[in-house]
């Protein structure tokens, strides 16, 4: 047993302790149910368990002492009734039996000689005692009702006030927006992000058109063309000339979305340095990485460039997962890449991955038929299957699927779809058959030399889990990072 997903199934009751008998279980997903009670301590003895998600249930009590449970992150535990761990905000709750409390007025002096027959010492005292508790109970209940009623009234007043303020802000925003859009800048505008940026407005003193005239084209994609350009001081930058047909029309909208992308900072993400805007020309400016893309290293390598070792490939997989997890977790709403593939994974001189082109879908007015067709043609094999049969709804699970294909490509050295003379080989199906036959080693790229099977085989299985046809069965990117870290450094 490799993978069990019971998420979003409205399950109730407690987690059965018999689940600990699934000795080969590696991934357990129980999030978004109504499970209650404590987590069976027996699950901590599952040595093969790599990832668990029990978030958004009604669970209480301590986590199992062993196994992967001591290394779970907040996203795998949050939203429960009372788990005993510092990672969640909910107070700890335990199933502790209540102590037995005896009525001190039942027996005279705490002892009775008549064979445990109760005797009333003073009926008046007993009646006063009972009446005292009855009155105090009524007072407490009344006070609680008054407090609850007050909280409800204050909450309703706050909601009403916020609604009025929101309507006023929207009205003012519409007035300001229409005024700004009607008088937007017609001339070129250069915007540089951050006071510490190595890029300066003076570097483009000759104009964006002059810069592109001297630039070297590196490649074309769905969103535009990428160039390598030289700037003042001997520096080199990467410039992406966006396709204007489908980009937001107004400068304010463009500026707002690009500034959000400019705030993204992570070691495995290409940092946006600035942008240039006119109604006819939009450029995004970022660092240039001379080592090229992962696609070039895997499929366009010359004899002068050595093949990627297993250590480098694992570093690329883990770094890419960390970068995407940052986009998904650190922003609300999450930034979805939507076009994750090796051509958008750039490498530095140490083979650290740098993800480019993230969040560009935010700049689109809408996804028309031409854009959808172009997108699927340029990313054959990397797009999640649900996008072909549903209304185009961008979500994090699309990135998980693309990442799964990417790590299968890293391990095998093969493209997701390869056309032969008589047949077409789909990488996911090819790997799945070999794993089921116990011959997974046969699909490993022979050019990378020696490799540890105890790391390569779990990575292949992780790639298959990420490419599940059911989006809810795919792990989150935070869980993927956790699994990769466990593979590299077992518990």
Residues of the chain with pLDDT under 50: 107-114, 116-121, 124-126, 128-130, 132, 172-173, 175-186, 368-370, 373
pLDDT on residue 116: 47
Range(s) of the chain covered by CATH 1.10.510.10:
298-488
What pLDDT, on a 0 to 100 scale, did the predictor assign at position 246?
A: 66
Residues 296-312 pLDDT 10s: 999 998 888 899 999 99
Asked if the bond preceding 266 is cis, omega within 30° of 0, the reply is no
pLDDT tens sequence across 9-48: 888 999 998 888 888 888 888 999 999 999 999 998 888 8
Question: Domain 298-488 has what CATH class?
Answer: mainly alpha
d(CA 217, CA 488): 39
Q: What is the pLDDT of residue 266?
A: 95
- Kindly report, as residue ranges, where domains of CATH 3.30.200.20 are found in the chain: 189-287
- Record: fold of 3-83: 3.80.10
Q: In 10 A of CB 392, how many CB atoms? A: 15
In order of 109, 291, 343, the CA distances from 295 in angstroms are 88, 11, 5
Q: Is 98 annotated as a binding residue?
A: no
What pLDDT score does 179 carry? 41
d(CA 19, CA 13): 14
Residue ranges, CATH 3.80.10.10, the chain? 3-83
pLDDT in tens, 97-122: 655 555 555 544 444 444 544 444 45
The candidate with the shortest Cα–Cα distance to 478, out of 324, 272, 276, 277, is 324
Give Cα 390 distance to the centre of its chain: 22
Contact 326, 269 (CB under 8 A): yes
Q: Is 418 left (phi over 0), alpha (psi -120 to 50) or beta?
A: beta
- Supply the CATH classification number for the domain 189-287: 3.30.200.20
Give the pLDDT of residue 348: 93
CA-to-CA distance for 486 and 71, rounded, in angstroms? 9
């Amino acid at each position: 047993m490799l993978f069990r997903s019971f998420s979003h199934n409205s399950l109730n009751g407690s987690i059965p302790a018999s689940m600990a008998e699934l000795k080969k279980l590696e991934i357990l997903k129980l999030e978004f149910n109504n499970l209650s009670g404590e987590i069976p301590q027996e699950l901590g003895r599952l040595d093969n368990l790599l990832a668990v998600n029990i978030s958004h249930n009604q669970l209480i009590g301590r986590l199992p002492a062993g196994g992967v449970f001591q290394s779970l992150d907040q996203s795998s535990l949050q939203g429960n009734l009372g788990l005993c761990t510092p990672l969640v905000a909910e107070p700890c709750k335990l199933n502790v039996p209540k102590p037995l409390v005896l009525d001190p007025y039942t027996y005279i002096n705490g002892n009775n000689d008549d064979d445990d027959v109760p005797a009333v010492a003073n009926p008046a005292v007993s009646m006063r005692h009972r009446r005292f508790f009855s009155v105090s109970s009524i007072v407490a209940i009344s006070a609680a009702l008054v407090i609850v009623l007050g909280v409800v009234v204050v909450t309703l007043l706050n909601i009403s006030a916020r609604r009025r303020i929101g309507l006023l802000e929207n009205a003012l925003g519409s007035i300001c927006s229409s005024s700004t859009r009607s008088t937007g800048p017609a001339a070129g505008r250069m915007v540089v992000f951050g006071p510490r940026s190595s890029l300066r407005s003076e570097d483009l003193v000759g104009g964006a058109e002059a810069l592109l005239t001297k630039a070297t084209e590196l490649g074309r994609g769905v969103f535009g063309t990428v160039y390598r350009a030289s700037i003042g001081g001997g520096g080199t930058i990467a410039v992406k000339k966006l396709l204007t047909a489908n980009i937001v029309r107004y400068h304010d909208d463009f500026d707002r979305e690009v500034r959000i992308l400019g705030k993204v900072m992570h070691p495995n993400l290409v940092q946006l340095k600035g942008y240039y805007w006119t109604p006819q020309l939009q450029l995004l400016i970022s660092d240039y990485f001379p080592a090229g893309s992962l696609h070039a290293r895997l499929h366009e390598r010359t004899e002068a460039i050595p093949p990627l070792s297993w250590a480098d490939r694992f570093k690329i997989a883990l770094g890419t997962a960390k970068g995407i997890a940052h986009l998904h977790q650190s922003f609300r709403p999450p930034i979805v890449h939507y076009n994750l593939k090796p051509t958008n994974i750039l490498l530095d001189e140490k083979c650290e991955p740098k993800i480019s082109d993230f969040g560009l879908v935010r700049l689109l007015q809408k996804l028309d038929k031409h854009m959808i067709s172009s997108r699927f043609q340029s990313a054959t094999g990397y797009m999640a299957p649900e996008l072909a049969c549903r209304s185009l709804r961008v979500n994090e699970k699309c990135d998980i699927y693309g990442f799964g294909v990417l790590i299968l490509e890293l391990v095998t050295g093969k493209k997701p779809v390869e056309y032969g003379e008589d047949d077409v080989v789909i990488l996911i199906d090819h790997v799945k058959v070999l794993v089921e036959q116990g011959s997974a080693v046969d699909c490993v790229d022979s050019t990378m030399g020696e490799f540890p099977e105890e790391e390569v085989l779990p990575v292949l299985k992780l790639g298959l889990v990420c490419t599940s046809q059911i989006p809810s069965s795919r792990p989150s990117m935070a869980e993927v990072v956790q699994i990769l870290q466990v593979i590299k450094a077992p518990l």
